[in-house]
Amino acid sequence: MTLEELYQAAQAASTSQKWSQAASLWERVYQAQQTPKFNFQLVTALVADRQYSAAINYAAEFEGVYRRSDSAASLYLRALIGSQQFIPARMLIVARVTHRDWSKTASRELDAAERAATSEMAATMKTAMRRFYHLSDQPAIAQAEQIQAAQRLTYEKYVTAAKFLLVDPFLHQLARVEVLDTLRALGVSETVTFQWLDQTVISCQPSALVPVGTDSLAKTVHAALEARIGHQNASLSQELTASLRLQLMYLYPRTELGITDANAWVRLMLNQSPTTPATNLTAGEEKMVHLQSVIQKYNSELLL
């Protein structure tokens, strides 16, 4: 079949509400031409056919588009709720908080779904809550999987456990940062305590934070790295940029506590050597070298 023939067949299947067939046909159309329009048609068919996980995966490819209109956001929300992805569903609502009428309706729909899940799946929810609470019992590499599983918790249960995890001294730092960033995306406005990279406990208001790696100092450090290495070696530039992005995740949400001089941080990062320690450093540079070594230690835990 040509693309036009596939399109006509997919339209006919959707009109006839033959959703399984429509989903299959729209998927073929979308694979041939990956546009937001065809993505929306595919996700519509998948949601109608209750293939919620597949719908979420496809919608995520154009997530920004789905946030723009009420109809697209409602479709995405139905997929998330249908898959019991309550935390991402709440994040979607928070991201569209300025669309007040839509947000109110969406919040009521999500609240009802959470109440139903709490009642009908009490044992499952309790197990997920317990595993999330004891996240640090898992090896560092396995913590990401449990964080993903916690996306099915209700808002109240997630936030309750998250507050404990933010100061759990045995949790991997990247896991702690991911939990904090989720609280930011959830719009949590109350002050929480957070164990920072050097084990200092700080206070912050998640809803007032910017996303990881988007603060002004992070942008300055990225510019310093680009100025230092230029575009002479594309693969090396990509590798170093990725390394710096990871370092900035570790320093979240107080980048300025770790990087007191953007150019010095980049220089120390590029000259870092386990066999030849840097010498003649200022006190500020010594602190930055120490933090970079702490980051390396955490990274090594991800390989175990």
For 3-120, CATH gives 1.25.40.10
Exposed e or buried b per residue across 70-107, where buried means at least 16 C-beta atoms within 10 angstroms of its C-beta: eebbbbbbbbbbbbbbbbbbbbbbbbbeebeebbeebe
- 3-state secondary structure (DSSP) of residue 205: coil
Place of tokens 């310093």: 224
Tens of each residue's pLDDT in the chain, 304 residues: 899 999 999 999 999 999 999 999 999 999 999 999 999 999 999 999 999 999 999 999 999 999 999 999 999 999 999 999 999 999 999 999 999 999 999 999 999 999 999 999 999 999 999 999 999 999 998 999 999 999 999 999 999 999 999 999 999 999 999 999 999 999 999 999 999 999 999 999 999 999 999 999 999 999 999 998 876 677 888 899 999 999 999 999 999 999 999 999 999 999 876 656 777 899 999 999 999 999 999 999 988 6
Give me the torsion for CA of 271, 275, 278, 284, rounded to 10°: 90
- pLDDT for the residue numbered 271: 87
Place of tokens 């002479």: 232
Q: What is the pLDDT of residue 134?
A: 95
Q: What is the pLDDT of residue 276?
A: 65
Query: What pLDDT sits at residue 194?
Result: 98
CA distance 167 to 282: 31
> Which pLDDT score, from 0 to 100, does residue 67 have?
96
List beta partners, residue 57: none
Where exactly are the structural domains of the chain?
3-120, 122-208, 216-301
| Nearest alpha-carbon partner for 169 in 192, 196, 147 | 196
